[in-house]
């Protein structure tokens, strides 16, 4: 009960201290603390293409994207942005904007085509070339080791993250990267958004590998939504702790780098002032952010998860808990939007499906009658609520002791209408306002509230293949013409960032 009261207190504090900043402010790089890092972000599968070149092995997303009906526009990322061949051109785009850093992921299957075994030297060479090109242009590499693209062979061999064998194989892959690239890479991210691939991949089945128990496997074919997402999350957390331990003991002192993890989180606000909705809001946060952050701070899952999931939630041994606690130099936060939460009193979904959503007992929605309706981006889930990032930073500060935070993703998308000309698509005033207003609120969290935030990475450098949305969603600062040799065009937001960073 004491822990619940503390959580609710942190939640209330995050609401009370925030004075929403609704209007555009005159901010620039100089507004932020000295050394604050600005960059753009990407991932291997969404950007590289060249899926069958230079020994790269197949991934679960190659399989999923080529399965009928899994991607809304029936596309795949076989070519994507072709950054595998065009990285020098793209680095010039970043340099022209004045960006400090580039966050990208290494494709595990380019290093180990079968997940384990012999190293693919062509993959090592490619990432060496990319890292060297970034550094020679004054851009710091921030490397994500795993951004959803598990080698298909590991899924075929032992169902991937559902097996503890994944911990050993991931550690061997990660250590290979430390050995090969750690003399130049000073910032490592173990996993990107484990919450999303645990839930979307193993609960609702909408992302690779597409497992669930919904409708008796008519949609997914296999899986158990009541247990698998928790098993996957558990093995991922243990993988993270193992790799951080390896890095800190064997490489950090010599290589002088830092290591963390990127966690996604909406901000949630109660649908009403009732205590039930306040509790539901806390549970929504626990089952989203707390699920992965709390073990790294306190060594165990949130109390609300232990209470509600019971024996379906795996347990950490004392040694595992000790290894998890404090296993980071920084925490990456990927934040895009804010939703409302209310008590799920009927729990119809729980009766039908018994999964992570029903386990939380919180019904989360972007729109609630009687509450403000915010502007939205193209994606159905992405509502534009700039003060949410300030609230989230304050919540993390109050509840978890103000750890060092990097905003490793933030951005919004436009649609990809065939009736919109390139000229019109480049006029992305809404994106400019989005970044300006989120950065303004982030600045207030840092300077007025004392939140320990040291970096901001815009998602994304370019329009890209956006997972289940395919090419129907455009998040980029640069427009990519998929109909004309993937030519890149600067949107107005590029000009805005260039001015922002040059000031």
Which residue has tokens 């990107």?
192
List for the chain the helix, strand, coil content (%; round to 5): 45, 15, 40
Neighbouring CB atoms inside 10 A of 79's CB total 16
Q: Which residue among 48, 193, 294, 466 is the active-site one?
A: 193
Q: With beta carbons less than 8 A apart as the criterion, state whether 245 and 315 touch.
A: no
Q: Are 8 and 278 in contact (CB under 8 A)?
A: yes
Q: Can you read off the two tokens belonging to residue 389?
A: 């990032």
- DSSP conformational letter for 58: P
Which candidate, 311, 144, 316, places its Cα nearest to that of 241? 316
Residue 431 tokens read as 């994106």
Token pair for 418: 């065939």
Question: Of 304, 279, 281, which Cα lies nearest the Cα of 291?
Answer: 304
- Active site (annotated) includes residue 193: yes
Three-state SS string over 72-88 comes to CCCCCCCCCCCHHHHHH
d(CA 115, CA 84): 20
Please confirm, yes or no, whether 429 is among the known catalytic residues: no
Q: Which of 48, 228, 294, 409 is catalytic?
A: 409
Which among 168, 153, 112, 73 has a CA at the least distance from the CA of 417? 73
> Which token pair is 103?
């966050």
Total Cβ atoms within 10 A of residue 311: 8
**210, 220 contact by CB (below 8 A):** yes
Count helices and strands (H / E) in the chain. 21, 15
Helix (H, G, I), strand (E, B) or coil at 450: coil
Within 13 Å, how many C-alpha atoms sit on residue 179's CB side?
10
| Long-range contacts from 160-164, C-beta under 8 angstroms, 24+ separation | 160/60, 160/209, 161/198, 161/202, 161/231, 161/232, 161/235, 161/236, 162/202, 162/228, 162/231, 162/232, 162/235, 163/235, 164/235, 164/238
Q: How many of the other CB atoms lie within 10 Å of CB of 70?
A: 20
Using DSSP, state whether 410 is helix, strand or coil. Answer: strand
In angstroms, the Cα distances linking 155 to 58, 59, 163, 208, 422 are 11, 9, 9, 11, 40
- Note the Cα 234 to chain centre separation in Å: 17
* Catalytically active residues, by annotation: 193, 409
């Amino acid at each position: 009960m004491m822990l619940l009261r503390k959580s609710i207190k942190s939640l209330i504090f995050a609401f009370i201290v925030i004075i929403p900043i609704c209007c555009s402010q005159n901010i620039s790089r100089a507004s932020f603390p000295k050394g604050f890092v600005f960059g753009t972000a990407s991932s291997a599968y969404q950007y590289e293409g060249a899926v069958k070149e230079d020994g790269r092995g197949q991934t679960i997303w190659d399989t999923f994207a080529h399965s009928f009906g899994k991607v809304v526009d029936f596309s795949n990322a076989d070519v994507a942005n072709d950054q595998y061949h065009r990285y020098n051109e793209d680095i010039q785009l970043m340099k022209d904007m004045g960006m400090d850093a580039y966050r990208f992921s290494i494709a595990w299957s380019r290093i180990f085509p079968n997940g384990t075994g012999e190293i693919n030297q062509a993959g090592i060479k490619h990432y060496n070339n990319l890292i060297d090109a970034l550094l020679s242009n004054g851009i710091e590499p921030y490397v994500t080791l795993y951004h959803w693209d598990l080698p298909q062979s590991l899924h075929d061999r032992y169902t991937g993250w559902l097996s503890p064998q994944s911990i050993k194989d991931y550690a061997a892959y990660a250590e290979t990267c430390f050995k090969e690239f750690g003399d130049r890479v000073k910032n490592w991210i173990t996993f990107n958004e484990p919450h999303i691939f645990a839930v979307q991949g193993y609960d609702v089945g909408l992302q690779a590998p597409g497992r669930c128990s919904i409708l008796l496997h008519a949609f997914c074919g296999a899986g158990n939504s009541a247990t698998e997402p928790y098993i996957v999350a558990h093995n991922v957390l243990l993988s993270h702790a193992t790799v951080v331990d390896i890095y800190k003991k064997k490489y950090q002192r010599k290589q002088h780098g830092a290591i963390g993890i990127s966690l996604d989180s909406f901000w949630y606000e109660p649908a009403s002032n009732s205590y039930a909705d306040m509790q539901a809001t806390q549970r929504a946060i626990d089952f989203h952010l707390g699920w992965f952050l709390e073990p790294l701070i306190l060594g165990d899952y949130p109390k609300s998860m232990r209470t509600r999931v019971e024996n379906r939630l795996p347990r950490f041994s004392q040694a595992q808990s000790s290894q998890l606690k404090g296993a980071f130099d920084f925490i990456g936060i990927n934040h895009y939007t804010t939703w409302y939460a209310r008590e799920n009193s009927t729990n119809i979904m729980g009766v039908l499906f018994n999964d992570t959503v029903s386990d939380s007992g919180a019904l989360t929605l972007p729109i609630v009658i009687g509450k403000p309706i915010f502007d939205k981006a193209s994606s159905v889930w992405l509502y534009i609520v700039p003060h949410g990032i300030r609230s989230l930073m304050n919540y993390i500060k109050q509840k978890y002791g103000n750890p060092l935070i990097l905003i490793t993703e933030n951005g919004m998308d436009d649609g990809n209408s065939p009736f919109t000309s390139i000229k019109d698509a480049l006029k992305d005033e809404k994106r400019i306002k989005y970044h300006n207003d989120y950065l303004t609120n982030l600045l207030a969290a840092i300077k007025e509230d004392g939140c320990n935030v040291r970096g901001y990475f815009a998602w994304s450098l370019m329009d890209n293949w956006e997972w289940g949305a395919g090419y129907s969603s455009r998040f980029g600062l640069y427009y990519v013409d998929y109909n004309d040799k993937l030519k890149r065009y600067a949107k107005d937001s590029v000009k805005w960032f260039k001015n922002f960073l040059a000031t």
